[in-house]
Amino acid sequence: MKHYIGIDIGGMIVKAGIVNEEGKIICKDICQTFPDKHYSVMVKDMYELCVKILSDAGLRFEDISGVGIGCPGTIYAEKGIITFANNLNFHDTPLVDEFKKYWKGDAVYIENDANCAALGEYLFGSGKGSRNCIFITLGTGVGSGFILDGKIFAGKMGAGAEAGHMVIRIDGEKCTCGRRGCWEAYASATALIRDTQKAMAKNPDSLMHKIAAQYGKVNGRVAFDAAKQNDKAAKQVVKRYIKYIGCGVVNLINIFRPDKVLIGGGISNEGDYFIKLIQRYVNRYHYGGKINPRVKVVRASLLNDAGIIGAASLAMNK
């Protein structure tokens, strides 16, 4: 059986794991990232993390068929360069070449982390069996990855497929990208928290206050929890939030008509109840009504391991 290493770079930590060709993680570990230090420091730490997991798994360098790296931001995959990753302070960073100074193998690949996760889900998760699938991650922002005809679609120099920054409302809420009304400004967990807070301010008797106090803060679960207990204001927040998510999902379906839309990220932990609400919206509003094929909305299934498995699957798919 072939083995691969998947490395998932985040703002706080780097995760790395050895993944077999069936998409199973056999060993994993993490190390810290220091975005304020030169990137070469992080790359060296990444390499040492790989050495450690190899030793933990009782494998040798020769046993690894390839290394995949997933990183947030704009990734020029062909050149192995991170063009831009805001939170990590990367600008035209030749990460793959730097890694190859330590790792003496040619099969090292890099891609945007959401693209990696999409590929991982497509090969080993809930995207299995589809030809075209779109992966959406609802967290602090809205990330997306497109698998078209079995391949990652990344656009020119890897800057493509940022579905979170399509506008769903002209002159709407301000987005982190500088534009107004982006999908991310309505469908992210950050947006849900903002809207929950607004509704709480208007509804001092809402159950949301009690639930937020139990959590010690307003998080993405407060409105959902209260809505399940029939709180009127919370139900409105959830209803509108589903509309925002659904609007963007339907826009994407109308363009690509994929086999499946996969929903991941922290908010997807709301589970079946949440996915069903999006599915209902999609069934109602997708172009072509009862005539065009229906598109399944499913929860992404690799969860916390999506980053590692996705990055490793990048090396497998070459």
Q: Which residues bind Zn ion (CB under 5 A)?
A: 165, 175, 177, 179, 182
* Closer CB to Zn ion, 87 or 214, in the complex: 87
For residues 113 and 60, is the Cβ–Cβ distance under 8 A?
no
Q: Where are the alpha helices (DSSP H) in the chain?
A: 39-57, 95-100, 113-124, 184-187, 189-202, 207-215, 222-228, 232-256, 272-285, 306-316
For residues 30 and 308, is the Cβ–Cβ distance under 8 A?
no
Which residue is it, tokens 């810290």? 32
The nearest distance, CB 208 to Zn ion, in angstroms, is 27
* Closer CB to Zn ion, 175 or 211, in the complex: 175
Dig out the tokens for 138 from the structure.
């609802």
For residues 243 and 290, is the Cβ–Cβ distance under 8 A?
no
The nearest distance, CB 175 to Zn ion, in angstroms, is 3
For residues 174 and 180, is the Cβ–Cβ distance under 8 A?
yes
**Would you say how long the chain is, in residues?**
318
* Closer CB to Zn ion, 113 or 231, in the complex: 113
The nearest distance, CB 186 to Zn ion, in angstroms, is 10
* Closer CB to Zn ion, 25 or 167, in the complex: 167
For residues 292 and 257, is the Cβ–Cβ distance under 8 A?
yes
The nearest distance, CB 191 to Zn ion, in angstroms, is 11
For residues 157 and 167, is the Cβ–Cβ distance under 8 A?
no
The nearest distance, CB 166 to Zn ion, in angstroms, is 8
* Closer CB to Zn ion, 182 or 298, in the complex: 182
